Chain A
Amino acid sequence: MQDVMILTEFTPIASLLGGALIGLAAVGLMLLHGRVMGATGILSGVFFPISSSEWVWRVAVVAGMLCGPVIYLGLTGGFPAIDAPSSRWALILGGVIVGLGVTYGSGCTSGHGVCGNARLSPRSLAATLTFMLTTGITVYVIRHVISGEA
């Protein structure tokens, strides 16, 4: 399913800085508008809107997100690296499964993992521990059981 194993460099400084910016965005959205920075809820609200007022702000957030890599390009001279180790079929299958999971689980890495855990929500902690565990198991099975790589 994952055809190539791509080596990546350990980037503690960039990752910490990027993470801090993600946190800054989450705090900003709560401070200004009292909303949770959850990608699942925001994306769902764009494509399956409840009302026009609930739709517009989410579209604006997504538009901002889409422009993030463009600013990054301006600052560094290149887009962030995106190397999918998975085949196209795996991306389709994974995408559908993620969509099902985050809808039933009411959130993903940003909503539960960052915002919920920062509020010390027991639901978000339970959700985060659960998906971190199943992601780890899935990666292990694909890489070391199915692909048979050492």
Chain B
Amino acid sequence: MRILTFFAVGLIFGIGISVSGMANPAKVINFFDIAGNWDPSLAFVMGGALLVTFFGYGVVFKKKRPILADEFTLPSQHGIDRKLIGGSAVFGIGWGIAGFCPGAALPALGTGNLDVAIFVGSLLVGIAIARRLQAKAT
């Protein structure tokens, strides 16, 4: 039962990505192509998601704990460092090249599209390399 709630949340996310148009790299790239065929749709995806999450979180964080867990597990890192900014800058370069970001590509994988599978496979290689490098550095 508990596991089904996780599945349901993923499913809603996956339907949201499908409906929003975020699964389509052409749409994503056209959002950033202000000097070309600008498609502002992505701003509406982010706007809709942020609006619901901002007000939803506002209600959720008034509670002492989540319904099915003992505590809220929130990112523990604080402060804006070189790693955060450098990593995010690199992510943007890759997003601009491929047109897929991880959250859009995962649901898109469910269509069986080969381009998405190639992207996700490469994404995992990148994550594996970064984890290896980080483990060496510490």
Using a CB–CB cutoff of 8 Å, the interface residues on chain A facing chain B are 1-2, 5-12, 14-40, 43-44, 47-48, 56-58, 60-72, 79-86, 88, 90-119, 121-123, 126-128, 130-140, 142-144, 149
Contacts and interface: CB of A to CB of B under 8 A. Distances in A.
Contacts of B74: 34, 36, 119
Instruction: Tell me the interface secondary structure of chain B in the complex.
Output: helix
Interface string B6-25: 11111111111111111111
Contacts of A12: 40-41, 44
Smallest CB-CB A-B distances: 5 pairs: A68-B14, A99-B126, A64-B10, A18-B20, A94-B98
B27 to A, nearest CB: 5
Find the residue from A32, A47, A133, A142 having the highest chain B CB count within 10 A: A32
B123 A98 contact: yes
A63 B73 contact: no
B87 A86 contact: no
22 contacts: A7-B37, A10-B39, A12-B40, A17-B48, A20-B52, A21-B16, A23-B53, A25-B13, A34-B66, A40-B127, A80-B18, A84-B99, A91-B100, A94-B97, A98-B123, A101-B92, A102-B102, A109-B102, A113-B46, A123-B75, A135-B95, A139-B96
Nearest to B28: A135
Contact of A82 (B37, B86, B89, B108): B108
Interface string B50-77: 1111101101100101111101111101
Nearest to B124: A47
A5 to B, nearest CB: 6
Interface residues of B, number: 114
Contacts of B25: 82-86
A27 B15 CA distance: 15
Nearest to A134: B92
A34 B73 contact: yes
A134 to B, nearest CB: 3
B30 A33 contact: no
A25 B7 CA distance: 10
Given A15-B41, A93-B122, A103-B131, 11 more contacts: A23-B52, A66-B14, A68-B11, A81-B23, A93-B94, A94-B100, A98-B126, A101-B93, A105-B84, A108-B102, A135-B32
Nearest to A92: B122
